[in-house]
Amino acid sequence: MTEIKQTMADVQAEAKRCLYCVDAPCQKGCPAGVDVAQFIRHLRYADVKSAKRVIKTANPLGGICGTLCPSENLCQKNCTMNYCGAPIRIRDLQKFACANAAYAPDLAPASGKKAAVVGAGPAGLGCAAMLARLGHEVDVFEKDAAAAGVVAREIPAQRIDASVVENDLAELACGRIRFHYNTPVTAQKLEELKQEYAAVFVGAGLAQDRMSGVDIAEGAPVAGCSQYLADLKSGKTKAVSGTVLVVGGGDSAIDAVCASLEAGAEKAVLAYRRSRAEMPACDEEFFAAAGKGVELMYMVSPVAVAKTADGGAAVTFVRNRLVEKPGEARRGFEAVPGSEFTLNAAQVVFAIGKKADAALVAGTPDRDTLRVAGTNCFVGGDWLNGGATVVEAVAEGKRAAAAMDALMK
Ligand code: SF4
């Protein structure tokens, strides 16, 4: 689905297609609970400022989500218009509203309470924004030199413009949120924060790329996806050449193949262990990558990476076949005996997930309340759920903020 033109006339034309459904299935599909029908109604009458207020009230990172959300799997998947043509392009409308109006949040009177947030990624920002609106002072501790986590650090500029991130961050600022950059929080520091603040939220994200299950020779050109993308985005890696082989099937893997081509790779190959039907990458990003000439290999798993004489990698793969797994939504896979083959690449990138720093939080958070029992510590975002969408992280941050507010009252 191509993006609607970001002009008022096109936006109004799209808004007029909306049925303004009473039961609002689109809103139920939005993890942040944005009142979609309401903001689209405002756009229909060219009231962009009111549309943005509806979005931002529910989602402090509405601009980022209006750019990155896999809406085909969320609000747009639920849209009634799927039954009579095409769904309303909700994400594009949200993107327009957030880019074309000013916004400042409504603030409750100061509570006199202070909360700490560990991590300035989407979960931490969602939590901090809501706590500040509820009247609390918030100190945000971030290990990096900037906020927005993977959005700022890893997602290529071709997918999200820096100005979108800057706008959302600027609209969080209300004099009640202080950012402490380059300030990693250890388990010991977290204990100190729990003493110092009325409530603490840990939305620290995932710290390390997973590289497990593959025999990797020392010195072979192998990188974890998040580090690879971060190095490309920061300019630490100026250019790449030859063939880049990316192992994985999520949106990060798609980002890695596209960013590789953008940085000069002659060929980018995506190797995934199951079929396209099981691939977690959203259709829009997948088809965009395919359109750029990314080569796709399905139902293969790497088993070993050797270093070649020219400093490249020789990756041994095994072919898989799909198997039904009772009780599981996705089909599983198993290796086909004797199916090994080798592929050479200048660079191998593993995009098979990331690990949390499990030692950071003592105790297990409750999945509903997000609170670690018997403490003033709450946990959410990727650290807890293993990695989800930006909007799901924001939603968890919001949920934690409501629980922290109740604790602090
Ligand atoms: S489900 Fe679709 S048509 Fe109905 S209110 Fe939401 S966006 Fe409009």
pLDDT in tens, 313-359: 999 999 999 998 888 877 889 999 999 999 999 999 999 988 777 77
Predicted confidence at residue 316, as pLDDT, reads 97
User: By C-alpha distance, which of 48, 47, 23 is closest to 37?
Assistant: 23
User: What residue owns the CA closest to ligand 1's atom 1?
Assistant: 79
Task: Give yes or no for residue 19 CB within 6 A of ligand 1.
Answer: yes
Tell me, what's the pLDDT at 362? 83
Q: In this predicted model, what pLDDT tens digit does every residue of 104-119 receive, in sequence order? A: 999 999 999 999 999 9
Q: How far apart are CA 127 and CA 400, in angstroms?
A: 7
Q: What is the position in ligand 1's atom list of the atom closest to the CA of 27?
A: 6
178 membership: H or E segment, kind and range: strand 177-180
pLDDT computed for residue 235 by the predictor: 94
Q: What is the pLDDT of residues 262-307, one digit of tens each?
A: 999 999 999 999 999 999 898 888 998 999 999 999 999 999 999 9
- Domain 209-353 grouped into CATH 3.50.50.60: yes
Task: Examine the pLDDT at 2 and tell me if it is beyond 70.
Answer: no
C-beta neighbour count of 290 within 10 angstroms: 15
Which amino acid residue places its CA nearest to atom 4 of ligand 1?
21
32 pLDDT band, cuts 50/70/90, is very high
Helices (H), 134-186: 150-153, 162-172
Q: How far apart are CA 174 and CA 140, in angstroms?
A: 14
Average pLDDT, the chain: 93
> Is 90 close to ligand 1, i.e. is its CB under 6 Å away?
yes
* Region of residue 182 (left: phi > 0; alpha: psi -120 to 50; beta: else): left
Q: Which amino acid is at 388?
A: A
- Pick from 63, 91, 64: nearest CA to 79: 91
What per-residue confidence (pLDDT) applies to 387? Answer: 66
Cα–Cα distances (Å) from 193 to 180, 203, 302, 407, in that order, read 13, 14, 43, 16
Q: Measured from the CB, is residue 34 less than 6 Å from ligand 1?
A: no
Q: How many Cβ atoms from other residues are within 10 Å of residue 81's Cβ? A: 17
Instruction: Return left, alpha or beta for 287; rule: phi > 0 is left, psi -120 to 50 is alpha, else beta.
Output: alpha
For 54-82, the pLDDT digits (tens) are: 999 999 999 999 999 999 999 999 999 99
Nearest CA to ligand 1 atom 6: 26
Instruction: Let me know the angle formed at the C-alpha of 35 by 402 and 370, rounded to the nearest 5 degrees.
Output: 25
Separate counts of helices (H) and strands (E) for the chain: 16, 17
Higher pLDDT among residues 387 and 240, named by residue = 240
Q: Calculate how far, in angstroms, residue 61's C-alpha sits from the geometric centre of ligand 1.
A: 21
Domain spans, the chain: 8-99, 114-207+356-408, 209-353
Confidence band of 174 (pLDDT split at 50, 70, 90): confident
Ligand 1 centre distance from Cα of residue 74 (Å) = 12
Domains 114-207+356-408 and 209-353 share a fold: yes
Distances (CA, A) of 255 to 75, 154, 230: 23, 9, 11
Residue nearest to atom 5 of ligand 1 (CA): 20
CB 402 within 8 A of CB 408: no
CATH class, domain 114-207+356-408, is alpha beta
CA–CA separation, 251 and 387 (whole Å)? 11
Do residues 126 and 61 make contact, with C-beta atoms less than 8 angstroms apart?
yes
pLDDT of residue 1: 59
- Reply yes or no on whether the pLDDT at 128 is more than 90: yes
Class at the top of the CATH hierarchy for domain 8-99: mainly alpha
For residues 202-209, give the mean pLDDT: 80
Ligand 1 geometric centre to CA of 130 (Å): 26
- CA of 69 relative to ligand 1 center, distance in Å: 17
